[in-house]
Structure 1
């Protein structure tokens, strides 16, 4: 299983617009990706393609999250999603 830690860059955290952008990108991947707050058990991870799961995660600006995926293309998928998380989509 591949794993990548990313820091939430959006000023409002992983809420509304940033969550929608992230969930859409995760849904388009050929691998299933989970997301959890850093330090949380892997079995508590949520579906990264679900906007409701992302918003219920409660990740704020500067929080670190763990992305996990398994299978061919997992590393590349996680890098793509980490880049999205590490971009402030709310910057003016």
Structure 2
């Protein structure tokens, strides 16, 4: 099976800081799939790693690319994309 990618714009007013990253990383882990997140054209990191995702330094309005591999990858990216495009600081 081929990997599936999706690019989304981050909505949280304060970017990906501790609270939204914790929600995102937990959701990524729960999919059971290998999922990465990359900012712009930077190196991808494990989406289930809170420290890895925080280290990307993602701000509101930044674009990130999610990549998942495996069965139900599309559905996993749908739910993770929804988390990223929701403002958790509102």
Q: Same fold (TM over 0.5)?
A: yes
TM-score under structure 2 normalisation? 0.94
How do 1:30-69 residues align onto structure 2 when only pairs under 5 Å count? Answer: 30-40=32-42, 44-69=43-68
Separation in structure 1 between the aligned mates of residue 77 and residue 40 of structure 2, nearest angstrom: 15
How do 1:1-92 residues align onto structure 2 when only pairs under 5 Å count? Answer: 1-40=3-42, 44-91=43-90
Query: Which stretches in structure 2 are left out of the alignment for 5+ residues?
Result: none
Over 4 Å off, 4+ runs: none
Aligned CA-pair RMSD: 0.8
- Once the 2 structures are TM-superposed, how far is the Cα of residue 38 of structure 1 from its aligned partner? 2.1
SS at match of 1:79: helix
Separation in structure 1 between the aligned mates of residue 6 and residue 40 of structure 2, nearest angstrom: 10
SS at match of 2:31: coil
Tell me how many residue pairs correspond in the alignment: 88
CA deviation map 1:2-58 (0-9, x unaligned) = 000111100110111111110111110021100001223xxx210000110110000
TM-score under structure 1 normalisation? 0.92
